[in-house]
Structure 1
Amino acid sequence: MSANSAEPAAIVEVVLVKAGRTKIRYPAELVHDDGTRIVVRAPWAGEGVRDFGFVRFEPGDVFTESYWRDRWYSVKEVRDGKGALKGWYCDITRPAALSGAELVVEDLDLDLWRSADGSAVLRLDEDEFAASGLARTDPDAATAAVRALDSLELLAREGGFEALLV
């Protein structure tokens, strides 16, 4: 482990920031940190059920979340309370930062969903991304975000995220 890593089995607070404000924060078990990729596991942290139409996140669901210090996305494996895979929800983010017991991630609005069987690969929230003004205020970050979404979509269509998560 590097100087930036933490011991497994520790609890970290995941802090998702959007447009300069904390969107959500929740405790998660630190599963892995190799200095580049950080993996945490946490139950669904939202209030009640969130039905997106293509998937429902609900109490009992478990998210195994991979964040990178050098990549512009996170990949979250979603399983129901019985362990059945629902799919992967990916957030386009700035690279993650683990400081002490806080894992801070800045959400850049773009998302991707891949169903467990691979039949659905959906780009999400492109309208929110356009409305955010990031292309105007930070064009380099906007370019990195779109490239990250394109890369994740290609991986999702070519078979999934397993190679990323090894």
Structure 2
Amino acid sequence: MGMKTIFDFTALSNKGKEINFDEFKGHVLLIVNTASKCGFTPQYKALEELYKKYKDQGLVILGFPCDQFGHQEPGSDEEIASFCEVNFGVTFPLMAKVEVNGDKASPIFKYLKKSTSGFLGSSIKWNFTKFLISKDGQTIKRFSPVTKPMSLESSIINFLNE
């Protein structure tokens, strides 16, 4: 087996179910580390809009809540899900809370950082860092927390049309 791709990983959903990323092959994936009490939290709204607009064409958005930045995600997985649903109508999948930096970082984030290292340095700087992954898993684009989700739209369309 050659180099790993994103499709070789698994992660827990916020309901504790193991999700095999193999099932996302052929989809465009947008992976975001999220938080409920952050200045960027309103980005959930735009992420949800993108999801609604493109999910039937093959876009999958996965939110990975993380409490490593200013302790802005203190809640349990259940509290996080309810917050996102109530405040932002989030319907895209949320995963169990993870760490994205350090030794205990989720393998998925270790992989994403390594695949895009050199860009903004490899460690995740803050909540709502975004990784856009092509259908074949070969191309990964990294966007900073300040990048508004809607400005990813043209990249998403390009990846969907590949």
Per the normalisation by structure 2, the TM-score is 0.29
Higher helix share: 2
From the CA coordinates, give the structure whose radius of gyration is larger. Answer: 1
Q: Which has the higher contact order (CA 8 A, sep 6+)?
A: 2
Which of the pair is proportionally richer in strand?
Answer: 1
TM-score between the two structures when normalised by the length of structure 1:
0.29
